[in-house]
Structure 1
Amino acid sequence: MPSSSQTPEREAERLRIERDELAAAAQRVAVQLQHFMDDTTDPGTEALAAQYELSRILSLLSIDTSAVDEAQYLSRFSATPSEIHRFLANRLPEDVHLNYQQAIGGRAVEEAAKELRMEANAAAAEGIRNDLTPGWLRAANFIDPMQSGGLFPSELIRFGETGGAR
């Protein structure tokens, strides 16, 4: 069921993607049914009628299989950040995509700030460069989202277009 805050454009996009996924599944069924009919000497009236009906319905649809093909192409073992970015960028509005990147970036910056504090405190405990410890701690607090630091990234990272990994 669609969310009440979802825009008509987002709902239309969601429905288009669902239609394309259903149409792609129907195409796969039609191909398998055709193989069955080709391999069987007497496929039967029901199989012939089903193949005809599937073909007729699919011919009426203008189908964009890129969404389905892209999702099937992405592999958890080989997808690059650039491929994942492209996949998400094609499906999410920029502000939603930026919020997603900021959630990940915020966690990474929080972890980095924590590590910087630990290094500063360890250096101070060992008497190494005590003059740098206050600056390191201020820097860690300045960037840490848990200490009212900024949102990172501040702009959408477009992998493969304007920098970013791979």
Structure 2
Amino acid sequence: MPQSSQTTEREIERLTIERDELAAAAKRVSVQLQHFLNDATDPGTEALAAQYELSRILSLLSIDTSAVDEAQYLSRFSAIPSEIHGFLANRLPEDVHLNYQRAIGNRAVEEAAKDLRMEANAASSEGVQPHLTAGWLKAADHIDPIKGGGHFPSVLIQFGGAA
């Protein structure tokens, strides 16, 4: 498939998801506004007009709420790794998911290797035997993806019963 076609399909998919998320948010607002209208003794013309307009717009949209509904429980305050993994595993091909995990894993290993180098240099300045600190530096270079170390993780990490 040509690159421009893939880009167009991805853009359409992105816009569809954004539309569905916006429509789902509007639906939640509409429900809350309806609760307000039902509970208020005098909801006011603006509130009634807003509810009418939201209802009208929502009736015009045909939306796929499955992606939005499944994502709603992924609260930034309570999502756990297995929930996030399950969400991604159901939407991404395994190789794309692995590359995503590697982007995070490689960055963590780069940071650990940098920290090991800093410790080696600090130990060297404190008089620790040079062959020990040289080993630390060699180990840091061995694992650091920037210096040719492996990709981490090497296989897709599975959390819980997902994927």
- Does residue 126 of structure 1 match 2:128? yes
Q: TM-score w.r.t. structure 1 length?
A: 0.62
Name the counterpart of 2:7: 6
Q: Which residues of structure 2 form unaligned runs of 5+?
A: none
3-state SS in 2 of match to 1:153: coil
Q: TM-score w.r.t. structure 2 length?
A: 0.63
Change (3 A) 1:43 1:57: farther
Change (3 A) 1:157 1:7: farther
Tell me how far apart the structure 2 counterparts of residues 114 and 55 of structure 1 sit (CA, whole Å): 52
Q: Identity of counterpart residues, as a percentage?
A: 57
Q: CA RMSD of the aligned region, Å?
A: 4.0
Change (3 A) 1:23 1:120: closer
Structure 1 residues 64-75: aligned runs within 5 Å: 64-67=65-68, 70-71=71-72, 73-75=74-76
Larger helix percent: 2
Q: Deviations over 1:110-163 (max 9, x none)?
A: 2333344455563794239x4x6655443332221121112111222222248x
Q: Which residues of structure 1 form unaligned runs of 5+?
A: none
Tell me how far apart the structure 2 counterparts of residues 115 and 41 of structure 1 sit (CA, whole Å): 63
3-state SS in 2 of match to 1:97: helix
Change (3 A) 1:52 1:108: closer
Cα distance, 1:80 vs structure 2: 2.0
Which runs of structure 1 show a deviation greater than 6 angstroms over 4 or more consecutive aligned residues?
A: 41-45
What is the number of residues matched between the two proteins? 154
Cα distance, 1:33 vs structure 2: 4.1
- Does residue 53 of structure 1 match 2:56? yes
